Structure 1
Amino acid sequence: MSTREVSPEAPIGVFDSGVGGLTVARAIRDQLPGESMIYVGDTARTPYGPRPIAEVRRFALEILDDLVAQGVKMLVIACNTASAAVLRDARERYDVPVIEVIGPTVRSAMSITRNGRVGLIGTQGTIQSRAYDDLFSMRSDIELTSAACPRFVELVEAGETSGPVVIDVAEGYLAPLVAAGIDTLVLGCTHYPFLRGALRQVVGPDVALVSSDIETANAVYEVLTARGMLRPADSGDPVLRYEATGPDTAEFKALAKRMLGIGIDAVDRVQTGTIAIPPGAFRAP
């Protein structure tokens, strides 16, 4: 579908299954501090990783539809599992640019690897989807070794990102990747950057870590710049709006503070399958 004309002052819509995608939102803010943003965490149905891909696809499209109805100028799917589920059809469905976390991360990893041996860690859903495998297969000289790491999200959201337990879990998950002689490790979940220290200790200093948050923010910057869609500097202060589908918005704010140091004043509760704001009526809460 061709993209429609939208105002550069419109917000960027960022979506994740929970709070992990705030790493992507933060990276976008670091590069584009003048942009307004709506962040939606589907906390009522998180985690997506263990769910069937068809179910994740339904959830993701439901929320992305709502963001488009709110008048965003770009969609950012800040969730690897959701990106894998809608990778093939999201860009055809929507008339605004769609950025997902898998493509930019794969391109970065392919440019970095020296020996062609790349490791991938992600949720069960991301690994089983083989979305990364499909993109890496464009390079016949790359050998991809993957591992699902279901406990990592649980550890991060519990605030446990270092120490003996984390190292022990990481060693178990990463043993096949280390044995394969990888020189590049793709962190295929937005929670995983919080484990960077432990991952570095397990794989060693010579293995490059490629994180989806930074690569996705780079892609957002490139697309908005190329399309002339950057928010004008004279548009006033940007508006940041946070939405969550789950009832415990206090927990959302607490996790954001603990994981990212982001102080969020308000999180709007939104029902899944509903439109929070009429089309074109984006406003501050």
Structure 2
Amino acid sequence: MRTKNAPIGIFDSGVGGLTVMKDITGRLPSYDYLYLGDSARTPYGNRSFESIYRFTLQCVKYLFTQQCHLVILACNTASAKALRTIQQRDLPDLAPHKRVLGVIRPTAEVIGLHSDTGHVGVLGTTGTIQSDSYKIEIKQQFPRLSVYQQACPMWVPLVENGEHNHPGADYFVKKYLDQLRQQSATIDTMLLACTHYPLLISKIRSMLDTGISLLSQGPIVAASLQDYLKRHPEIDEQCSQNGTRRFLTTDAPELFDHHAATFFGQKVQSEYVEV
């Protein structure tokens, strides 16, 4: 029997995770969802491991208090620097029957299926790239793949400031793509390993050869979550299905709502919370 109010929790350091939530809710619309954006402490990308872990754990604990039995870390940086520690060290004592999942492993499990040359590129924040999490996970799934990584520190600020569709963004989009391509001329698959980057996808595509596959995480994570719920009915049964969506932020709701409409594709009305 399903709990009446047990939404699937989705966490991000700000509004970027809404691009993942958009695909999840599109694929699994009947479930209830509770999104928490830690906007007061965003961005996570350049913070220390200790800070990212502490902030992420605080937010996961808060979502647990809101009856979430399953929490998705839609933030790449949190997935890279906090997920494994939370899963292995904290969950067994904190909430052994609850689950916290990330976005890195689902992506690593499929990226090799899109490459013919065996050379793939990962575009992400400085924190995500420095963690080597994608390279490690991809190599576990596809040992023969050559993985090249490129940090794109200016892409998130461009999106956050609404400059992603303007001509001024072209320089920084091309700069990081060129730096990635200089690492290998045979890269045929590129992964957008940050939830902000789908908003730049039109510009990115315009600067790539037609034969290069460009992967966005939202559809991949949504398909993986659907499969996970099928394989784990004991978790699925605890997730309520009333089709509700609720949005929480640790900063000013009006600022969150303003940016959220761009990332989620529709207007939202968020609530302020302290975690």
Which letter does structure 2 place at the counterpart of 1:13? G
- Residues 32 and 241 of structure 2 are in contact (CA less than 8 Å); yes or no, is this contact kept in structure 1? no
State how far apart, in whole Å, the 2-side matches of 1:256 and 1:11 are.
20
Q: Which moved more, 1:181-190 or 1:161-170?
A: 161-170
- 1:48 corresponds to which residue? 44
* Residues 58-82 of structure 1, C-alpha deviations (whole Å, 9 max, x = no match): 1001111111122112110000000
**In 2 relative to 1, CA 236–201 (structure 1 residues): closer, same or farther, beyond 3 Å?**
closer
Does residue 221 (structure 1) correspond to residue 226 (structure 2)? The answer is: yes
Give 1:201's aligned residue.
206
- The offset of 1:271, in angstroms, is 1.1
Q: CA deviation at 1:230?
A: 4.5
Q: Which residue of 2 aligns with 1:280?
A: none
Structure 1's 90 and 110: CA in aligned 2 closer, same or farther, altered over 3 A?
A: farther
Aligned identity (percent) is 35
- Structure 1 residues 205 and 231 mapped into 2: Cα distance closer, same or farther (>3 Å)? farther
Contact 1:105 1:210 (8 Å CA) reproduced? no
Q: Which residue of 1 aligns with 2:147?
A: 144
Q: Which residue of 2 aligns with 1:115?
A: 117
Amino acid aligned to 1:186: L
What amino acid is aligned across from residue 267 of structure 2 in structure 1? G
Whole-angstrom distance in 1 between the partners of 2:231 and 2:143? 30
Select the residue among 188, 192, 205 that pairs with 1:187.
Answer: 192
How many equivalent pairs are there?
A: 265
Structure 1 position 227, deviation (Å): 2.1
Structure 2, gaps ≥5 residues long: none
Compared CA separation, residues 198 and 9, structure 1 to 2 (3 A) = same
Instruction: Map 1:251-270 to 2 at 5 A.
Output: 251-265=255-269, 267-270=270-273
1:226: Cα distance to partner? Answer: 2.0
CA offsets 1:135-166 (integer angstroms, 9 cap, x no match): 12223321111111111111112222234322
Partner-residue secondary structure (3-state), 1:209: strand
- Structure 1: stretches of 5+ with no match in the other structure: 273-285
Which residue pairs with 1:245 in the alignment?
250
The structural deviation recorded for 1:54 is 1.7
2:159 aligned with 1:156, yes or no? yes
1:259 Cα deviation (Å)? 3.4
Q: 1:73 to 1:83 in 2, by over 3 A?
A: same
Equivalent position to 1:106, from 108, 123, 127: 108
> Deviation at 1:6?
7.2
So what's the TM-score if we normalise by structure 1? Answer: 0.87
* Secondary structure at 2:40 match in 1: coil
3-state SS of 2:199 partner: helix
CA deviation string 1:96-117 (max 9, x = no partner): 2322111111112122111111
The letter of the residue matching 1:146 is Q
Shift, 1:37, TM fit:
0.8
Task: Specify the code of the residue in structure 2 equivalent to 1:51.
Answer: R
Contact 1:80 1:101 in 2 (8 A): yes
Partner SS, residue 242 of structure 1:
strand
1:9: Cα distance to partner?
5.7
- Structure 2 residue 77 is the aligned partner of structure 1 residue 81: yes
- 2:261, 2:19 → 1: CA distance? 12
Displacement after TM superposition at 1:43 (Å) = 0.3
Q: Is the 8 A contact 2:83 2:100 kept in 1?
A: no
Distance (Å, rounded) in 2 between the aligned partners of 1:149 and 1:60:
22
Aligned residues: CA RMSD: 2.1
* TM-score with structure 2 setting the length: 0.90
